[in-house]
Amino acid sequence: MFNLILFGPPGSGKGTQSERLISQFGLKHLSTGDLLRSELSRQTPLGVEAKSFMDKGMLVPDEVVIGMISSALDSNPEANGFLFDGFPRTEAQAEALDKLLKLKQTEISLVLSLIVTEEELVKRLLGRGKTSGRSDDVDENIIRARITEYHKKTSAVADYYKKFDKVVEIKGEGTVDEIFDSLSAEIEKRMYIGQ
Ligand code: ADP
Segment 77-131, tens digit of pLDDT:
999 999 999 999 999 999 999 999 999 999 999 999 999 999 999 999 999 999 9
Task: Give the residue ranges of the chain where pLDDT is below 70.
Answer: 193-195
Other residues' Cβ atoms within 10 Å of the Cβ of residue 189 = 12
How many CB atoms are located within 10 Å of the residue 93 CB? 23
Radius of gyration (C-alpha) of the chain in whole angstroms? 16
Q: How far apart are CA 122 and CA 68, in angstroms?
A: 28
The verdict on residue 23 lying in a domain is yes
Q: For the chain, how far is it from start to end, CA to CA, in angstroms?
A: 6
The enclosing domain of 144 has a CATH number of: 3.40.50.300
Ligand 1 atom with least separation from CA of 61: 25
Domain span at residue 66 reads 2-188
Q: Is 124 a catalytic residue?
A: no
Its pTM stands at 0.93
The pLDDT assigned to 192 comes to 72
- What is the average pLDDT score of the chain? 96
Residue at 193 is within a domain: no
Number of folded domains that form the chain? 1
Task: Identify whether 55 is part of a domain.
Answer: yes
User: Is 104 annotated in the active site?
Assistant: no
Which helix H or strand E contains 141, and what residues bound it?
helix 140-149
The answer to whether residues 13 and 172 touch, using CB atoms and an 8 Å cutoff, is: yes
**Which of 86, 74, 73, 79 shows the shortest CA–CA distance to 36?**
86
User: What pLDDT does residue 33 have?
Assistant: 96
Q: Whose CA is nearest to atom 10 of ligand 1?
A: 33
Whether 194 is in a domain gets the answer no
User: Which of 176, 42, 172 has its CA nearest to residue 117?
Assistant: 172
